[in-house]
Chain A
């Protein structure tokens, strides 16, 4: 119910907001001395608090990286935990600067809503989890099944499209909350539980007997997930997406959190030098310092390091990179040239 309250508050904010033209988001963040990111409320691996109460996760690290690139300090950020219902409204009304959230980039979200996706930093797809005892090895054998999902995402549309396209019937049970969907599936309300594969892995950790369940091989949708910004601020969109591209390029160029100082001092590669602001000042064009990319890499490491730290095989989620590998390794990650 907090979500409704927040949505109402956001609506009220739009009504009461002073109509004087606001300064660019970048200037505002600099003036405030703090970056405000909207993140998902508690998803293991992506946005959660560790046992000491420190915010951690893939999405959180990108917020830290942005804060480091803009303000030179990764801790000059503040997280606002937002449900899917009120996140866009909070962004629209300026309560948060950027959503480093779990939102899928779609046409409808990108057009007409006053918001836009800066780029894609995580390629996901919708999958299904079933009980091993059901003896199902493919989504195509789920004809007539009840499927538990969490609404407010693209999940419902994907299932509708896939099942109709394959002439399968289904019964949808959509919950407002991800964990209630999992609990109802566990209690036997549904034959399958569907969500983005990364979410199934993350939320699946909450199942009482994780080993009794299996994720089916099919991925039924494309879920490009990336940071979301307001549409009226092109400069800010560039700051956000080029910072993420810098972290991807860093992995490609072999620049890591550990060696970034040394690389900055002694690398002879012109690409590395440009990226780290040696002998060139790419940051300037976007209102950032010459060391913006250096600061971000120093704070959170390159893309690969962020992935391994939060989601990789050594973590509880144990996700493989899959499509989130660099393009040269057969993945989809591809940073435009820094020149």
Chain B
């Protein structure tokens, strides 16, 4: 027995040792290749008399950017241009994900609907959108948006404060940025408080076995309170009304058509893929589960919410994370239709003006990698919660 154990231990040790040394050798080889490549690249750059370094980030950029979410002007630095462009990329990705995800869920559920017409429409949607190249869809939406909208002088107008034309959607802006920031903070605080209150309320109601009207109390609180805060803020703030002067409207917030076309194209395209993920997720729930729930007399809504969806989510979340990452990477197509994202502004204009291709490309690659890893980590965290929730 002892001999056998010793033999086993030695056997495993040898095996372990062998495996470890092979791994160490491979790791050393990879490191050596990376080191040699870096060394070689630097030597080549020096030989080609190419200046390297990141000092250019502090120099003034000198060009304008069409969409700015932070203060930026021609005299700002290349780094400010980088941040402005990065924010444009993030906002686009966030908006597109927020539209694509619920839309994809709805279409995915519709594909399994007993109503033939609804299922047929959903199938047609998925097959069309998935099988036309995204770039083509992008141009379609962009020129469709541009061509259907009137020139600034013939703008569509809503109550004389909101305008729509081929230069974008022009909304009134708060005249004073400081009070607008305070108002935004207040609305967010009310929203957070309401969500917290709604959670407690829901627990209490559920414990008390509330149904019907009572069950609506929690969502009413969660959505009603922030909405009231928003209305109150809108009423008290002083608004700057956009005015047509010369070629364009002056004042107000402009949502540029490039953003609308990008958000439309990206979210509609991604929704088709998300629909398939959702359909597969729902299909993965064993039919016996639904039958058992129905046999217990649970209403269909509860069967969906409490039995099917929590189990389907386990199959949905990991591929959904992939789809979100893909959408994020697809934002780089923005360059084609002049939406000023990271790729167009930084890897485009900045690269060309500074001729520091390696630095600019390295920063761009690292940035996209970092965003992707963060999104990936967040989705993994959510996935873990979904798995735990299922027990």
- Chain B residues whose C-beta falls within 8 Å of the C-beta of A231 in the assembled complex: 48-49
A/B pair count, beta carbons within 8 Å: 160
- Chain B residues whose C-beta falls within 8 Å of the C-beta of A184 in the assembled complex: 142, 146, 337-338
Q: Give the secondary structure class of B's interface.
A: helix
- Chain B residues whose C-beta falls within 8 Å of the C-beta of A88 in the assembled complex: 352, 355, 357
- Chain B residues whose C-beta falls within 8 Å of the C-beta of A21 in the assembled complex: 47
Flag if B167 contacts A146 (CB, 8 Å): yes
CB distance from A16 to the nearest CB of B (A): 7
Chain A interfacial residues counted at CB < 8 A: 60
A17 to B48, CA, bound (A): 12
Q: Nearest CB to that of B52 among chain A residues?
A: A112
Q: Nearest CB to that of B74 among chain A residues?
A: A160
A16 to B41, CA, bound (A): 7
- Chain A residues whose C-beta falls within 8 Å of the C-beta of B167 in the assembled complex: 146, 171, 189
For the complex, is B213 an interface residue (Cβ under 8 Å from A)? no
Residue-wise interface mask of B (87-114) relative to A, using a CB-CB cutoff of 8 A (1 in contact, 0 not): 0000000000000000000000000000
- Chain A residues whose C-beta falls within 8 Å of the C-beta of B143 in the assembled complex: 183, 187
For the complex, is B179 an interface residue (Cβ under 8 Å from A)? no
Q: Which of B43, B47, B337, B361 contacts A232 (CB 8 A)?
A: B47
Q: Which of A11, A85, A161, A177 contacts B336 (CB 8 A)?
A: A177
- Chain A residues whose C-beta falls within 8 Å of the C-beta of B356 in the assembled complex: 112-113
Flag if A176 contacts B248 (CB, 8 Å): no
For the complex, is B276 an interface residue (Cβ under 8 Å from A)? no
- Chain B residues whose C-beta falls within 8 Å of the C-beta of A170 in the assembled complex: 64
Q: Nearest CB to that of B353 among chain A residues?
A: A108
Flag if A187 contacts B146 (CB, 8 Å): yes
For the complex, is A205 an interface residue (Cβ under 8 Å from B)? no
A145 to B50, CA, bound (A): 39
Flag if B62 contacts A14 (CB, 8 Å): no
CB distance from A23 to the nearest CB of B (A): 13
For the complex, is B21 an interface residue (Cβ under 8 Å from A)? no
Residue-wise interface mask of A (204-244) relative to B, using a CB-CB cutoff of 8 A (1 in contact, 0 not): 00000000000000000000000000111000000000000
Q: A151-B349, A191-B247 are in contact. Are A15 and B361 (CB under 8 A)?
A: no
Q: Which of B40, B44, B49, B166 contacts A187 (CB 8 A)?
A: B166
CB distance from B66 to the nearest CB of A (A): 6
Flag if A14 contacts B44 (CB, 8 Å): yes
For the complex, is B246 an interface residue (Cβ under 8 Å from A)? yes
CB distance from A44 to the nearest CB of B (A): 22
Flag if B44 contacts A19 (CB, 8 Å): yes
Flag if B41 contacts A15 (CB, 8 Å): yes
Q: Nearest CB to that of B48 among chain A residues?
A: A114
A158 to B304, CA, bound (A): 60
A156 to B353, CA, bound (A): 10
For the complex, is B335 an interface residue (Cβ under 8 Å from A)? yes
For the complex, is B347 an interface residue (Cβ under 8 Å from A)? yes
- Chain B residues whose C-beta falls within 8 Å of the C-beta of A154 in the assembled complex: 353
Residue-wise interface mask of A (110-122) relative to B, using a CB-CB cutoff of 8 A (1 in contact, 0 not): 0111110000000
- Restricting to B313-344, which residues have a CB under 8 Å from any CB of A? 332-333, 335-338, 340, 343-344
CB distance from A31 to the nearest CB of B (A): 20
Flag if A144 contacts B41 (CB, 8 Å): no
A113 to B45, CA, bound (A): 10
Q: A146-B248, A189-B166, A232-B49 are in contact. Are A157 and B355 (CB under 8 A)?
A: no
CB distance from B366 to the nearest CB of A (A): 13
- Restricting to A148-175, which residues have a CB under 8 Å from any CB of B? 148, 151-154, 156-157, 159-161, 164, 170-175
9 closest Cβ contacts across the A-B interface?
A: A113-B355, A112-B51, A114-B50, A156-B63, A176-B335, A144-B246, A114-B48, A145-B247, A187-B146
Q: Can you report 21 residue pairs joining A to B where beta carbons are below 8 Å apart?
A: A7-B361, A11-B361, A14-B44, A88-B352, A88-B357, A112-B51, A142-B247, A145-B248, A154-B353, A156-B349, A164-B74, A170-B64, A171-B64, A172-B66, A173-B258, A174-B340, A174-B344, A175-B335, A175-B336, A176-B344, A232-B49
